Amino acid sequence: MSTHIIIQRLQQVEAVMREHDHWQLNAPDAAAFNSDQPFCLDTMAPLEWLQWVLIPRLSALIAADAPLPASFAVAPYYEVALPPATSGYADLLATLRQLDALFAEPAR
């Protein structure tokens, strides 16, 4: 798995969020990061989690040359969590699917 491609996909997620005014200048309260729920369901809005958890944590793993998750998929959550009327909905989902594809388990 090419970390360069993963970084590009993360940058694309950020670009889509910025383009559609979903990028925040201020982080959520520190307590929001203490969630034990997937996607911080109980403490963050879905787009906050992308910006403040997924992008920085994957970036930090890459920067540290640490092992990356063997597989994950976030697009299915966003298909349900975001209303289709959300600005940039289709663009964001397409970009998240591209990111997910980098972590898809190979067909057997």
- The predicted-structure confidence for 40-79, as pLDDT tens digits, reads as follows 999 999 999 999 999 999 999 999 999 999 888 999 999 9
Three-class SS of 76-106: HHHHHHCCCCCCCHHHHHHHHHHHHHHCCCC
Residue type, position 14, single letter: E
Segment 5-16 shows an average pLDDT of 97
- pLDDT in the model for residue 106: 64
Single pTM value for the model: 0.90
Q: Is the pLDDT of residue 1 over 80?
A: no
